[in-house]
Amino acid sequence: MQRRSFIQKAAVGATAGTILGAPAIVHAQPTIRWRLTSSFPRSLGDTLFGISDTVARRVASLTDGKFTITTHSAGEIVPALQVLDAVQNGTVELGHTAMYYYFGKDPTYAFGTAVPFGLNYRQFNAWWHHGGGDKIFNDFVRKSNVMALLTGNTGEQTGGWFRREINTVDDLKGLKFRVGGFAGQVLTKLGVVPQQIAGGDIYSALEKGTIDAAEWVGPADDEKLGFVKVAKFYYAQGWWEVGPALHTIINMKAWESLPPAYQSAIQAACYEGTVDLTARYDAFNIQALKRLLAAGAQLRAFSTPVMNACYQAAQEVYAETNAKNPEFKKIHDSYFGFQRDQIAWAQVIENRMAQFLASVVK
């Protein structure tokens, strides 16, 4: 009886010690202040830029305010397309960006965001978290002194805003088109003149006629940037960005200096941000599209001949790049191998239900 009483008292004491000791452990953690630079303008506070604020708030909450991150929009610290450089060289500790912006450094970066006719957002998440994508991509970017945490996906994007209609493949010839990453190289084969322009500069380029067309994201963001005022033809089928992902990239030295609890806080916040950003787009896009149509946008779809020509051009570029870039080929084979299985699974069940619902829900 005495032995049982002793054990019970010891257990209670151990529990109390754990509870009482917990705050001491939290307060023992260091106070850390980091800066995040985004590739996106502050005007997209509900979506692309805003998700960085969401991550920062979550990190602060999970660390009892000991680890805080200030967020800075494109141009406040560095230009939109220089986020990787800023994180790599330690100008800031972390950034939020689209990895295909750095296609010019190495086309392999494009797999971090989207490549033509690639994975949709659910497939990308599955590949990243359970298909080896996280490891294989981070093995690649480690050479740039950064690590990447998946932080958001816009879902399939639209095909962009055009000042004139695109009815045939010949209509693409000579078209000055703002388009990011790998898609520009594909479209070059069809006579397009690709332009890489940061989001905040697209409107003025369209308005002045410096470019003939531009893709950005989709209705929720395109409405905020006012494209309907300067280009009326709005195309669906954003084949170059079927499920574009965004990442929080972190300087490796800064990451390794963090206490494990703070590393876990960032990982959890980025995971939450990924779910939240896609949900925002799914909720916001249709309402924004209705308003854009009311404002004069004319919705169009690329013709089957145009889509077929683009698909064939993409396969040619993949073959050429695989032949000269082993790192690209390694991720290409993993990424598209995963896609084949996912498409087969979708045909078994989800595509059938989607087609049925589209026929009956009015």
Domain assignment of residue 265, yes or no? yes
User: Is residue 54 a part of any domain in this protein?
Assistant: yes
CA 217 to chain CA centroid, Å, is 10
75 token code pair: 């141009």
Residues 6+ apart with CB under 8 A from 13: none
Token match 């699974």: residue? 345
Predicted pLDDT at 18: 40
* Contact between 141 and 197 (Cβ < 8 Å): no
Tell me the residue range of the domain where 68 lies.
30-156+243-283
Q: Does residue 112 fall inside a structural domain?
A: yes
Amino acid at 4: R
Q: What pLDDT score does 11 carry?
A: 42
Instruction: Name the token pair of 347.
Output: 């045909």
For residue 135, give the CATH number of its domain: 3.40.190.170
Taking the chain (362 residues) in consecutive chunks of 10 residues, what is each chunk's mean pLDDT?
41 40 59 97 93 98 97 96 97 97 94 97 98 98 97 96 96 93 91 88 93 94 94 95 97 98 98 96 96 97 97 97 98 98 93 93 91
Residue 106, SS3 per DSSP:
coil
88 within some domain: yes
- Element (H or E) spanning 39, and its range? none
Residues 6 or more apart from 313 whose CB is under 8 A from it? 186, 187, 189, 190
Q: Which of 83, 93, 96 is nearest to 35 (CA)?
A: 93
pLDDT at 27: 57
Phi, psi angle pair for 173, to nearest 5°? -65, 125
Any domain includes 81: yes
Tally the domains of the chain. 1
Domain-located, residue 121 = yes
CA distance to 82, 136, 145, 214, per residue, from 139 (Å): 21, 5, 11, 33
- The distance of Cα 200 from the centroid of its chain, to the nearest Å, equals 17
Concatenated DSSP letters for 249-312? EEEHHHHHHS-HHHHHHHHHHHHHHHHHHHHHHHHHHHHHHHHHHHTT-EEE---HHHHHHHHH
pTM of structure: 0.88
262 in any annotated domain:
yes
Q: How far apart are CA 25 and CA 62, in angstroms?
A: 13
What distance in Å separates the CA atoms of residue 132 and residue 169, rounded to the nearest whole number?
37
Query: Closest by alpha carbon to 331, among 344, 320, 322?
Result: 322
Task: Quote the pLDDT of residue 198.
Answer: 80
Q: Do residues 71 and 12 make contact, with C-beta atoms less than 8 angstroms apart?
A: no
Contact 163, 207 (CB under 8 A): no
In a domain, 179, yes or no: no
Q: Provide the β-strand partners of residue 323.
A: none
